[in-house]
């Protein structure tokens, strides 16, 4: 069978054409109204437009966000991180179900690692949160990094706004726990939760001190069965370690508790801690100050991204970089001299354009 007559290929091409046609039919006004009424299908469609590399799709999503801005900002944004295997997804399923039983609507945005070959998500959060994903008051959306954490983090930040406009009053952002994604998620959330394992050899090394300093609460997970004793010992060790860190700007003293998603131990207490944190930071003014600082941060990050994209897509500079790389590998220039030369040419072009 030749490729041109391959029925699977034809079916896929028809499906792609159908999706493109459907996407074009989605007007901004329809998406705005549908999301405002809590339509999760419209929410997913808009996030897909937001993630699209098509300029028209992206602009349409931006217009939807612009019109929905007055409906945003009413949620508590919670970042959740921890090393792979710590039980983040199990915790989120138990925690999300608990919140829904308390009358909340819960959105979960997961920044996933990606396949180097396909750039596709490899965690499959909906599969690992089967009960929560089937609940009509929950919404789960994984976003593959595709090798570009900055881009997906910015789109996650915008997806938070869309989820809030759709009426989700608790937004959970899960990180992979294996790199810089924690810093990105910390810069878009109100409360940062770190899950740790007992007996994993990390205690008192202050593992990843920077991440511990960002945490508003540390939960020692899998505190059930024979692991309860280890979890309680780890809790005391982490609690003592946190006293060595400088005080936070929000005057909040980070908590350390044990958790078992298996028997729901610690789930209710975790929510009480978060509501206590929200109350305290709103009363001392830090809550809105932090959100305003985050707005400025993402404006600057987006500006940097746009400038860099324009620079590296410019044909003149693409050619200049290619030529300079030859001098670099031939030993005629150091890396720093090469960068300085390209930057000086960029400044010359700017002056000439003026």
In order, the DSSP letters of 94-141 are HHHHHHHHTT--EEEEEEE-B-TTT--B-S-HHHHTHHHHTSTTEEEE
Residues 6+ apart with CB under 8 A from 64: 28, 31, 32, 35, 46, 49, 162
The Cα–Cα gap between 79 and 170 comes to: 11
Find the range with the poorest average confidence among 120-134, 191-205, 333-347: 120-134
Given a cut of 80, is residue 301 above it in pLDDT? yes
Each residue's pLDDT tens digit, 176-232: 765 667 888 889 999 999 998 886 555 444 456 678 888 999 999 999 888 899 999
- 301 within some domain: no
Together in a domain, 78 and 58? no
Question: What is the reported pLDDT for 305?
Answer: 85
Residue 170: CB atoms within 10 Å: 22
| Last residue in a domain, options 235, 264, 284 | 284
Average pLDDT, the chain: 85
Q: Which of 231, 232, 282 is nearest to 252 (CA)?
A: 282
Given a cut of 90, is residue 240 above it in pLDDT? no
The Cα–Cα gap between 190 and 288 comes to: 9
The more confident residue out of 331 and 112 is 331
Together in a domain, 258 and 325? no
The more confident residue out of 314 and 168 is 168
- 327 within some domain: yes
Given a cut of 60, is residue 69 above it in pLDDT? yes
Query: Mean per-residue pLDDT for 59-73?
Result: 96
Together in a domain, 65 and 83? no
Together in a domain, 161 and 202? yes
Question: What is the reported pLDDT for 148?
Answer: 52
Question: What is the reported pLDDT for 105?
Answer: 98
End-to-end CA, the chain: 59
Residue 36: CB atoms within 10 Å: 16
Query: Mean per-residue pLDDT for 313-333?
Result: 93
Together in a domain, 172 and 106? yes
Together in a domain, 26 and 111? no
The Cα–Cα gap between 54 and 23 comes to: 11
Question: What is the reported pLDDT for 195?
Answer: 92
Give the per-residue SS3 of 304-343.
Answer: HHHHHHHHHHCHHHHHHHHHHHHHHHCCCCCHHHHHHHHH
Query: Mean per-residue pLDDT for 242-259?
Result: 88
Q: Which of 157, 77, 83 is nearest to 113 (CA)?
A: 83
Dihedral angle sign, alpha carbons of residues 115, 118, 119, 123: negative
Each residue's pLDDT tens digit, 86-110: 889 899 999 999 999 999 999 999 8
The answer to whether 152 and 176 have CB atoms below 8 angstroms apart is no
Together in a domain, 115 and 245? yes
Each residue's pLDDT tens digit, 264-281: 899 999 999 999 999 999
- Residue 87 CA to its chain's centroid (Å): 18
- 293 within some domain: no
The Cα–Cα gap between 218 and 259 comes to: 10
DSSP state of 265: B
Together in a domain, 76 and 66? no
The Cα–Cα gap between 255 and 283 comes to: 19
Together in a domain, 112 and 192? yes
Q: What range defines the domain where residue 338 resides?
A: 314-353
What pairs with residue 111 in β-bridges? 143
The Cα–Cα gap between 217 and 285 comes to: 20
Query: Mean per-residue pLDDT for 286-293?
Result: 97
DSSP state of 4: G
Side-chain half-sphere exposure of 123, counting CA atoms within 13 A: 28
Together in a domain, 48 and 129? no
- 305 within some domain: no
Indicate the pLDDT class of residue 121, thresholds 50, 70 and 90.
very low
Together in a domain, 211 and 153? yes
Domain count, the chain: 3
Question: What is the reported pLDDT for 262?
Answer: 84
Q: What is the pTM assigned to this prediction?
A: 0.85
- 209 within some domain: yes
| Last residue in a domain, options 71, 106, 123 | 71
Residue 231, both tokens = 């979890």
- Identify which of 69-83, 112-126, 181-195 has the greatest average pLDDT: 69-83
The Cα–Cα gap between 212 and 194 comes to: 7
Question: What is the reported pLDDT for 205?
Answer: 44
- 306 within some domain: no
- 295 within some domain: no
Together in a domain, 252 and 339? no
Indicate the pLDDT class of residue 111, thresholds 50, 70 and 90.
confident
Residue 350, both tokens = 């700017």
Percent of the chain with pLDDT over 70: 82
What pairs with residue 258 in β-bridges? 220
- 52 within some domain: yes
Each residue's pLDDT tens digit, 4-32: 567 777 667 656 665 665 666 789 999 99
Percent of the chain with pLDDT over 90: 55
Indicate the pLDDT class of residue 123, thresholds 50, 70 and 90.
very low
């Amino acid at each position: 069978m030749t490729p041109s007559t391959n029925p699977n290929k034809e079916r896929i091409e028809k499906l792609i054409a159908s999706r493109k046609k459907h996407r074009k039919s989605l007007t901004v006004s329809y998406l705005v109204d549908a999301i405002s009424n809590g339509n999760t299908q419209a929410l997913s469609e808009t996030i897909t437009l937001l993630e699209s590399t098509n300029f028209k799709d992206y602009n349409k999503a931006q217009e939807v966000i612009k019109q929905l801005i007055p409906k945003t900002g009413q949620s508590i944004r919670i970042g959740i991180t921890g090393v792979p295997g710590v039980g983040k997804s199990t915790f989120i399923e138990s925690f999300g179900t608990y919140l829904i039983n308390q009358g909340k609507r819960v959105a979960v945005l997961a920044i996933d690692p990606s396949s180097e070959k396909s750039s596709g998500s490899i965690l499959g959060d909906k599969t690992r949160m089967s009960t929560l994903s089937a609940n009509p008051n929950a919404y789960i959306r994984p976003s593959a990094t595709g090798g570009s954490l900055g881009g997906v983090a910015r789109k996650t930040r915008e997806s938070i706004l869309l989820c809030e406009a759709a009426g989700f009053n608790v937004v959970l952002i899960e990180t992979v726990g294996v790199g810089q994604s924690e810093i990105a998620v910390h810069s878009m959330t109100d409360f940062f939760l770190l899950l740790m394992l007992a007996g994993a050899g990390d205690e008192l090394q202050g593992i990843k001190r920077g991440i511990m300093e960002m945490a508003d609460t540390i939960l020692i997970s899998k505190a059930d069965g024979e692991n309860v004793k280890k979890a309680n010992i780890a809790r005391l060790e982490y609690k003592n370690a946190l006293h060595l860190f400088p005080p936070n700007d929000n005057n909040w003293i980070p908590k350390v508790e044990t958790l078992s998603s298996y028997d729901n131990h610690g789930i209710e207490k975790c929510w009480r801690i978060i509501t206590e944190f929200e109350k305290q930071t709103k009363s001392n003014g830090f809550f809105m100050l932090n959100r305003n600082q985050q707005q400025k941060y993402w404006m600057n990050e987006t500006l940097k991204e746009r400038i860099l994209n324009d620079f590296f897509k410019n044909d003149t500079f693409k050619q200049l970089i290619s030529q300079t790389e030859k001098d670099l590998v031939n030993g005629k220039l150091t890396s720093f001299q090469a960068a300085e030369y390209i930057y000086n040419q960029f400044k010359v072009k700017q002056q000439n354009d003026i």
